[in-house]
A and B are shown apart, each in its own frame.
Chain A
Amino acid sequence: MSTTTQTEWPLWEVFVRNKAGLDHKHCGSLHAADAKMAIQLARDVYTRRQEGTSIWVVPSSQITASDPGDKGMYFDPMEDKVYRHPTFYELPDALNHM
């Protein structure tokens, strides 16, 4: 059993929505003792220049990330698959701005 004392508060990821209707965007992280404190501190750290109308916080430990070592096999094969973009369709003039 580990007997080490936790000397740092847990890390939280902060997501801020800057306008109603838009999605929450990841904007950084911070340390806080619990969710309530994380929301307050996110407000003070990340929305003090009017960046926000809503905040989400998620314990960083709850995020599962892809392994950087897998980057080659995960993402490189997509480089030459231009046909996956719908750019080969000819659109009627009326739809030119799609």
Chain B
Amino acid sequence: MSIQSIKVGASPEVQYLLRVGDSCLILAQRISEWCGHGPILEEDLALSNMALDLLGQARGLLTHAAKLDGQGHDEDQLAFLRDERQYLNPVLMELPRGDFAFTQVRNFAVATWLLLLWQRLEHSSDAEVAAIAGKAVKEASYHQQHAADWVVRLGDGTEQSARRMVEALATLWPYFNELFDADAVDEAAAAQGFGPAWSELKTDWQAHMSEVLRDAGLTPPKDSAFVGAGRRGIHSEHMGHLLAELQYLQRAYPGGKW
């Protein structure tokens, strides 16, 4: 018999940390799907490194979330034993990895967003969060630069690469809205200095985005009114499949370790 799923509490701090931590965890899982499938060996390693960086960030945040939650869980239990509705990452992170253009556009968008977020979290009222952010800010800077270079190369590359970039942008664009959506958890975190309201990041993110898209010769798609609800646990049809793979070992062999 498989083990029971766990639930986390509803405190704004825990929810806020899981929104960020789950973003890192789920995107790490998606990026790691490139391992062994990169277009060249060198980029295969670059993507795997990035996935591991994100996983490291997720570990820090999940560990701290578990501690603040006070139910005696650890990072592994949070990562592997929650049900789908208990994951709080924006839907953007769980979308299938797509082609290389899709991966690089998403990586650039998320790295830029995370970089802005980490820079503000360095001043969090929570010392542990500030310490995690201090380390992550360097990793995110590199992820951003690496992905930005690819966005420019592919956008300003061949006819095929440009076409794929346009398609990737069009698919991804509506999902970016959720990265800046305001709600009660967000406001509570901002009010107590725990972390920024995500809406604060929008202007800077747009500025980075337009600069790189301009260099890439790409035009931002028309804005969409769609806002994902992954942060409140409402995910896309892709999330269940991702979790099945992510959680399989721990569910099949409870407590299994390396």
Enumerate chain A interface residues (CB-CB to B < 8 A): 9, 30-33, 36-37, 40-41, 43-45, 48
- Tell me whether A33 and B153 are in contact (CB under 8 A): yes
- In the bound complex, residues from chain B placing their C-beta under 8 Å from that of A43 are 142
- Tell me whether B49 and A48 are in contact (CB under 8 A): yes
Instruction: Please name 18 further chain A to chain B contacts, defined as beta carbons within 8 Å, in addition to the given A43-B142, A48-B45, sorted by A numbering.
Output: A30-B41, A30-B42, A31-B40, A31-B41, A31-B42, A32-B42, A40-B46, A40-B145, A40-B149, A41-B42, A41-B43, A41-B45, A41-B46, A44-B45, A44-B46, A44-B49, A45-B41, A45-B42
* Chain B residue with the shortest CB-CB distance to A12: B42
Is B146 an interface residue, CB under 8 A from the partner?
yes
- Tell me whether A45 and B45 are in contact (CB under 8 A): yes
- In the bound complex, residues from chain B placing their C-beta under 8 Å from that of A32 are 42
B40 CB, min distance to chain A CBs, angstroms: 6
A10 CB, min distance to chain B CBs, angstroms: 12
A60 CB, min distance to chain B CBs, angstroms: 14
* Chain B residue with the shortest CB-CB distance to A43: B142
B212 CB, min distance to chain A CBs, angstroms: 15
Q: Provide the bound-state CA to CA distance between A33 and B45, in Å.
A: 16
Q: Provide the bound-state CA to CA distance between A48 and B146, in Å.
A: 15
- Tell me whether B146 and A40 are in contact (CB under 8 A): yes
